[in-house]
Structure 1
Amino acid sequence: MEPTVRYFVAVAEELHFGRAAERLGIAQPPLSRAIKQLERRLGVTLLERTNRAVALTEAGEVLLREGRAALNAVAAAERRTRRAARAEPRLVLVTKAVASSELLSKLLDAYAAEPGAIAVDVLLCGPGEQERLLRDGRADVALLHLPFDSTAGLDTEELRTEDQVALLPSGHPLAARTRLRMADVTDLPDLPLPRWPDADGAYPDGPGPQVRDHAQLLQLIALGRAAAVLPESCRAYLRDGLAAVPVLDAPKVTTVIAWPPHSRSRALAALIRTATAL
């Protein structure tokens, strides 16, 4: 049924049979027939068709949502299967650049000392990307951070919880304070908070600079172009020109190790045991 679901998702996203057929690389008549056969099989109307437009029914909305999830799951399974078939098996761990680096270093060292440990490739990404890379099969395991990342549908183990600090230029008046509140940081006209891209790569509107990774962010803060609120572990990366001040009312950040619930990898299970033992 997968090809038919793929056909339906293309039509539902394009809301145009011609564009969907072009996207799929097939002719329009067989695409129309496939959608009609799918509707007959399910006993529901998925698309309302007129001479001018195509619209999703309520049932079509449900199938679009579920179909996307199913296709993503199949693609993820294919990626993990190909990786498992390599002559030298490896695990892929994804995490945000800079975040949890001290914890990650300890984890990798401890796991490497375990009998039967295999190589671990580390993918560094921007905020929010690690969850997507884990779900689409490009990674086997991820370090996620609550409450910012979603762990819905994933198995997780909590590793640590920490407070947050405001990262400021060392010469800024607030850098001399012993503690701050969120309002102190969010209302700074001279040091706007950064704007991170969403899952589609688009930046939200706002006065803050567009940033792609934490290295760029640290440089902007040192130059006096931005401020940020980050987990306390970022103190490990303080350098000349940067100061960290505790933010009393910022939400605590919990680092978790997350993996797909259907995984049966012994190497992954060993890595998770190592992480929780730390």
Structure 2
Amino acid sequence: MEPLETRELRYFVAVAEELHFGRAAVRLGMAQPPLSRAVQRLERRLGVRLLERDRRGVALTEAGEMLLHEGRAALDAATAAARRTRRAGGADDADGTGGAGGAGGSGGPRHRLVLAVKAAASHELLHKLLDAYAAEPDAADVEVLPSGTCEQGEMLRDGRADVALMHAPFNSLAGFDSEELLTEGQIAILPTAHPLAARTSLTLADVRDIPGLPLARWSRDDAHAPGPGPLIHDQTQLAQLIALGRTVAVFPDSARAWLWAEHTAVPLTDAPPVVTHIAWPAHSRSLALARLVRTATGL
């Protein structure tokens, strides 16, 4: 059997996600009849029915569910390959995530690495890593890309990032190679004026049940989680809401580096330790990435 084409997968994934040929055609910027024919040809080539069609709409078969899962992964891999290839050749990313910072100097095109980090975490470690790597001969340019609390894995898979600082147990390391860099406790960050800020320690139950001071929720990661806490979009918003006495947050101990004068950090006695890993796609063969990992593990 001939291998599947990226175009075929893109067409099918659009239909499978929309479960409607008309909406999928609009999403793809094409007419509906050729899209329907393309999916029918794909079914004939594979020898299986991918979609059940009736007057009520479109539904995925078991084979269709499988192709949706595998197709998404294949399209992500193709996108990731293109992004990483452009960076290896010194080109700016076509999707606007380009621009270099950190290590590097003048001259011709340089290999560039994108390092995804959780906003507001691992400040001291990140500074040490970037400074040490910049001193290495032939260091690549490093762009630091802040992200949501659990977004780093997705960024590694789709090629927006080459490497990431990830935090167990919050981030899943499944499918990645990684090395442990740092283990630390967790803290509650409270408004300094709040009575609990005078405590020498707290428990997770204490933090979850503070009257009038709900636990913050990150908009990307747990926007649908129950609770009255405000949805947080970035670190500055969080810092301001804590200072105003509107919320409390839980972070690794290294987050003390960004605290304001209106904040107080109190250790959490029963929170699990946070282990910071440097993680990268298991199939990576980038020498620049290997040098960055070696620098990180040598800190």
Interval containing the TM-score (normalised by the shorter chain)? over 0.9
In structure 1, the partner of 2:167 is: 145
Counterpart secondary structure, 1:188: coil
Identity within the alignment, %: 66
**Separation in structure 1 between the aligned mates of residue 137 and residue 68 of structure 2, nearest angstrom:** 45
Deviates more, 1:98-107 or 1:18-27: 18-27
Q: Which residue of 2 aligns with 1:125?
A: 147
Report the counterpart of residue 118 of structure 2 in structure 1. 96
In structure 1, runs of 5+ residues without a counterpart are: none
**Aligned mate of 2:219, from 176, 194, 197:** 197
Larger mean Cα displacement after TM superposition, 37-46 or 61-70: 37-46
Alpha-carbon separation, structure 2, partners of 1:79 and 1:195: 31
> How many positions carry a matched residue from both structures?
277
Superposed, 1:1-278 pairs within 5 Å as 1-86=5-90, 87-198=109-220, 204-278=225-299
- Counterpart secondary structure, 1:198: helix
| Structure 1 contact 196–204 (Cα < 8 Å) conserved | no
SS of 1:168 mapped into structure 2:
strand
- Which secondary structure state, in structure 1, belongs to the residue aligned with residue 219 of structure 2? coil
Q: Scaled by the length of structure 1, what TM-score is found?
A: 0.94
CA distance in 1, matches of 2:31, 2:258: 56
- Aligned-pair CA distance for 1:194: 0.7
CA distance in structure 2 between the aligned counterparts of 1:236 and 1:24, rounded to whole angstroms: 45
| Matched position secondary structure for 1:166 | strand
Question: Shift of the alpha carbon at 1:214?
Answer: 2.1
Given the two structures, how large is their TM-score scaled by the length of structure 2?
0.88
Compute the displacement of 1:205 (Å). Answer: 4.8
CA drift at 1:190: 1.5
Shift in alpha-carbon separation, 1:25–1:236, aligned structure 2, 3 A: closer
Amino acid at match of 2:171: D
**In structure 2, C-alpha distance between the alignment counterparts of 1:23 and 1:113, rounded to whole Å:** 47
**Greater Cα shift, 34-43 or 66-75:** 34-43
The CA deviation at 1:89 is: 2.0
* Residue aligned with 1:98, SS: coil
Superposed CA RMSD: 1.6
Q: Displacement, 1:202? A: 5.0
Higher relative CO (Cα under 8 Å, sequence separation at least 6) belongs to: 1
Q: How far does the alpha carbon of each residue in 1:122-163 deviate from its partner, in whole angstroms, 9 at most, with x for none?
A: 112232233222221111111111111122211111111111
Q: Give, in whole Å, the separation in 2 of the partners of 1:192 and 1:45.
A: 50
Deviates further, 59-68 or 130-139: 130-139
Q: What letter is aligned with 2:135?
A: A
Q: Which runs of 5+ in 2 are unaligned?
A: 91-108
